């Protein structure tokens, strides 16, 4: 009986030890939705896990929510696309360092009918002014995501307050990019989206890119390990390994190689060591 009790205790101890090792080999990445919706993680993460044995669990939400989650210590790494907010996150002590990772751009998509006649424009502020003046429907994420933050800034630059048309021509979905595209297409509204999500999106119907090519539509992504001095639960070594791999030559090459429909979705631009 004592032998069986001892054997049982050994099994429990071994199980606990194995669980602890497994926990040491996993991290949570608080991420913007565009990187998940585009399929980038499905492509990248198996490479990283094969190389390191570290499992990466992604929480894909709007950038604003991802930053809040990381501030609440619900993650080990932050990967989002709102540089000013990311820099504030680091300045407040929640992140160790912020590094440019990759970029693409935003576009405005709309129906073939193009009720605001913005098709072919490369002046985003001019296009938004035309959409507002014509009161053509525009679907906004309205969720404090990186895309929404950029959209709000562009409206301001255009001298337009879309809140005056809220619930009428300006519709806020409070949803992620994919859901907002679906809603916008359903109501015949213009939508601003990151290009990667648009390329990967499967319900385009008669929609096409109407506005693109303005420098103000540039979309930069950054990666930030969460600071263990603020969040002692952070898996420091595994988080650093993931961030370092993303900005390494191997990680940057993998990002550059990712394509959907023969189109490159993200363009690596981490500073070279």
Domain boundaries defined on the chain: 2-103+220-268, 105-217
The phi, psi pair for 259, rounded to 5°, reads: -135, 150
Across 247-263, average pLDDT: 97
Mean pLDDT rounded to a whole number for the chain:
92
Host H or E run for residue 220:
strand 218-225
CATH of 105-217, one of 1.10.579.10, 3.40.190.10, 1.10.3720.10, 3.40.50.10890: 3.40.190.10
pLDDT tens-digit map of 181-217: 999 999 999 999 999 999 999 999 999 999 999 999 9
Nearest to 200 by CA among 73, 16, 27, 37: 37
What tokens were used for 46? 């198996």
pLDDT tens-digit map of 112-162: 999 999 999 999 999 999 999 999 999 999 998 999 999 999 999 999 999
CATH of 2-103+220-268, one of 3.40.190.10, 3.30.70.260, 3.40.50.300, 3.10.105.10: 3.40.190.10
Do the domains at 2-103+220-268 and 105-217 have one common CATH topology? yes
pLDDT at 18 over 70: no
What is the structure's pLDDT at 16? 37
Nearest to 245 by CA among 54, 26, 24: 54
Pairwise CA distance, residues 15 & 56, whole Å: 22
- Count CA atoms within 13 Å of residue 18 on its CB side: 6
Across 101-110, average pLDDT: 98
SS3 71: helix
For 161-178, give one letter per residue: b (16+ CB within 10 A) or e. ebeebeeebbbbbebbbb
Q: Collect all residues with Cβ–Cβ distance below 8 Å to 219 and sequence separation of at least 6.
A: 81, 103, 104, 105, 106, 146, 150, 194, 195
Pairwise CA distance, residues 246 & 206, whole Å: 36
Across 59-69, average pLDDT: 95
Cβ–Cβ under 8 Å, residues 169 and 89: no
What is the structure's pLDDT at 273? 66
Cβ–Cβ under 8 Å, residues 220 and 83: yes
What tokens were used for 244? 């370092």
Nearest to 271 by CA among 128, 102, 68, 149: 102
Instruction: Using a pLDDT cut of 70, give the percent of the chain over it.
Output: 91
DSSP code of residue 208? E
What tokens were used for 208? 């096409």
pLDDT tens-digit map of 234-250: 999 999 999 999 999 99
Host H or E run for residue 29:
strand 26-31
What is the structure's pLDDT at 238? 98
């Amino acid at each position: 009986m004592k032998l069986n009790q001892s054997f049982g205790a050994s099994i429990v101890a071994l199980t606990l030890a194995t669980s602890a090792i497994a926990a040491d080999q996993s991290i949570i990445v608080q991420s913007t939705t565009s990187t998940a919706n585009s399929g980038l993680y499905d492509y990248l993460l198996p490479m990283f896990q094969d190389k390191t044995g570290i499992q990466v669990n992604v929480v894909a939400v709007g950038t604003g929510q991802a930053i809040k989650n990381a501030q609440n210590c619900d993650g080990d790494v932050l990967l989002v696309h709102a540089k000013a907010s990311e820099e504030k996150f680091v300045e407040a002590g929640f992140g160790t360092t912020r590094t440019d990772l990759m970029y693409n751009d935003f576009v405005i998509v709309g129906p073939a009918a193009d009720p605001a006649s913005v098709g072919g424009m490369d002046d985003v502020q001019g296009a938004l002014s035309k959409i507002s003046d014509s009161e053509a429907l525009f679907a906004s994420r309205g969720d404090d995501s990186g895309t929404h933050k950029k959209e709000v800034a562009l409206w301001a630059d255009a001298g337009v307050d879309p809140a005056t048309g809220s619930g009428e021509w300006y519709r806020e979905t409070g949803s992620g990019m994919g859901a907002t595209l679906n809603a916008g297409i359903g109501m015949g509204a213009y939508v601003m989206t990151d290009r990667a999500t648009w390329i990967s999106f499967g319900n385009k119907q008669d929609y096409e890119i109407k506005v693109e090519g303005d420098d103000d539509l540039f979309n930069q992504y950054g990666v930030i390990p969460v600071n263990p001095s603020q969040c002692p639960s952070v898996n420091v070594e595994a988080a650093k390994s993931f961030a370092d791999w993303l900005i390494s030559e191997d990680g940057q090459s993998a990002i550059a190689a990712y394509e959907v429909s023969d189109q490159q979705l993200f363009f690596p631009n981490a500073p070279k060591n």
